[in-house]
Chains A and B, each alone.
Chain A
Amino acid sequence: MAESKTISLNMGPHHPATHGVLRIELELEGETIVNAKLRIGYLHRGIEKLAESRNYQQVIPLTDRLDYASASANNMGYCVTVEKLMGIEVPKRAQYLRVIMAELARIMGHHLWIGTHALDIGAMSVVFYAFRDREMIMDINEEISGYRLTPTFFRIGGVAHDATSEFIKKVRDFVKWFPKGLDGYHKLLTENKIWTTRTMNIGTISADEAVNYGFTGPSLRGSGMAYDVRKAFPYSSYDDFDFQIPVGEKGDVYDRYLVRMEEFSQSLKIIDQAIENLPEGPVNVDNPWISNPDLDEVQKDISALIRRFMIHAKGFAAPEAEVYQAVEGAKGELGFYLVGDGSEHPYRLKIRSPCFYLASALPRLMVGHMMADAVAIIGSIDIVLGEIDR
């Protein structure tokens, strides 16, 4: 009688389907996965440690590099946390602009997900359509901030500057166009026999188990738990907008796919409401120690020049307190635990990255499935290694 033997296979760290540098040591029996071990840390840049030697506003560009597929959503999380620590109320117009940017970032992150997820499974054409539409959001980012992927448009107490009419026009164009694009993805995948066969009943996880593994965001909602930080703990005027939380039933790859597809249209709905009801007013908090004076003012007024210099060179102090604040990132609950010690630098900044916990459940999701399903499962929980390793 033949002896049953397992072979171990390294997937990654340079495997295209791992969406970054993730290494998985798979133990295979034939083509079935019997065990999986994850190795992370290849992209560890020590963002939490770096933050401790920077001013509060100098940390904002670092947060862009967490989940680089949806950068503005991370800016939102960090800025909201610092504002909670310092007790700042952001003007309504800035809050709406932030919501527009964060929701555009969510759509951008989901574009990357749908494109690469379908590409991993073998549906090659989706990525071209997804990136065509993603390009439109990149143009919007470029219009408002000058950067395409990592806009760093947020500031503590508001946003960098007011929206231009060109920005509003581009956002409106996108809102008008995108339902057609989304319809195209649905036509390519949702009813596709190969797609449903590859994704249904793969990587199933029940709601209770998903909660125990620390799932949040679309992956948790795919299992049927309607938890969304935007609804449960509204921040930045999210309670002004009318939107639904899509939930799945079974918690398999296909349900998580459907949830994210529905999130596209819900995000679009929020952007549409925000851009049409954009309030008038300032985009920065009226606090001379925090908000940057205008360049016009700096050229005429010496005190404004000094103020600008002080804000950039020295920064501003936050009180001695601890806060935890979470926002709904593209991947789930993105939380920041911030400890202030009365100085201009954070004493400790802990980033709760949703992908970290999603990735920790990968062995649980993979075991028992075929080797080829591993890429489908990795794609379905939508991890970004920049956020896992920090």
Chain B
Amino acid sequence: MSYKNVIQTIHKKFPEAVVNECVNKGQREITLAQSQFYETMRVLQENPDLPYDLLIDILGIDYTPRTPRFDLVYVLLSTKDFSRLIVRLKAEEGEEIQSVSRIWHSADWAEREVYDLMGVPFSDHPDLKRILTWKNFEGHPLRKDFPLEGKDFDKPFDPETIEDYT
């Protein structure tokens, strides 16, 4: 099934879901609208002709000062014919994105990492908390405005605040 068919399949179900489509350096890429994002992702995973059943990775890119500020990129792979698809979603600062962890288990930790390092919150996530840094850590390190030096940077570290033991 070709890239065109994939887009047509989505288009039949959700006419307004795909905002943009392109092939960039041999990579198939689609940009989705927020409104039908979750449903479209479910169709991509369950599509019987070409299921994108392996969620390779989720990452956030901070394009500050652009609005919407963030790009969320979902790298998908089909284990049927081993083709990749890159799904892009634009997100405002503080805007909650629907979690896809019910579709792919691998999204669980991937979304926690995006939340931790990039500060994009996800709604409907089973256990959304920091993963690589500790509970009381302030800020989101991969944002472009995260201070790399200065008085805000080198705060004293209190080991008691690392985790909750509940």
Contacts and interface: CB of A to CB of B under 8 A. Distances in A.
B59 to A, nearest CB: 4
A381 interface: no
A326 B50 CA distance: 21
B82 A212 contact: no
A185 B50 CA distance: 41
B106 A348 contact: no
Interface residues of B, number: 34
B38 interface: no
Given A40-B132, A323-B27, A212 B86 contact: no
A195 interface: no
Interface string A201-238: 00000001001111010000000010100001100000
B134 A214 contact: no
Interface in B17-63: 24-25, 27, 53-57, 59, 61-62
Contact of A324 (B75, B117, B133, B134): B75
B3 interface: no
A44 B133 contact: yes
A46 interface: yes
A365 to B, nearest CB: 12
Query: Interface of chain A, helix or strand or loop or mixed?
Result: mixed
Interface string B120-153: 0000000000011110000001100010100000
A333 B84 CA distance: 13
A364 B132 CA distance: 20
Interface of B: 24-25, 27, 53-57, 59, 61-62, 73, 75, 79, 82, 84, 86, 104-106, 108-110, 113, 117, 131-134, 141-142, 146, 148, 163
A82 B25 CA distance: 13
**Size bin of chain A's contact surface:** 35 or more
Nearest to B57: A352
A361 B132 contact: no
A227 B79 contact: yes
A53 B148 contact: yes
B132 A335 contact: no
A352 to B, nearest CB: 4
Contacts of A213: 105-106
A269 to B, nearest CB: 22
Contacts of A337: 57, 59, 73, 75
14 contacts: A44-B132, A48-B117, A85-B25, A208-B53, A211-B54, A216-B56, A227-B82, A321-B25, A352-B75, A356-B110, A356-B113, A357-B110, A360-B106, A389-B132
A211 B56 CA distance: 10
Nearest to A390: B132
A321 B61 CA distance: 13
B105 A212 contact: yes
Contact of A335 (B75, B79, B134): B75
Contact of B82 (A85, A232, A359): A232
A364 B61 CA distance: 30
A3 to B, nearest CB: 22
A322 interface: yes
B106 A214 contact: yes
A54 interface: no
A39 B109 CA distance: 11
Given A216-B54, A322-B24, 13 more contacts: A46-B141, A214-B110, A232-B82, A233-B84, A323-B27, A324-B84, A348-B61, A350-B59, A356-B110, A357-B110, A359-B109, A360-B105, A360-B109
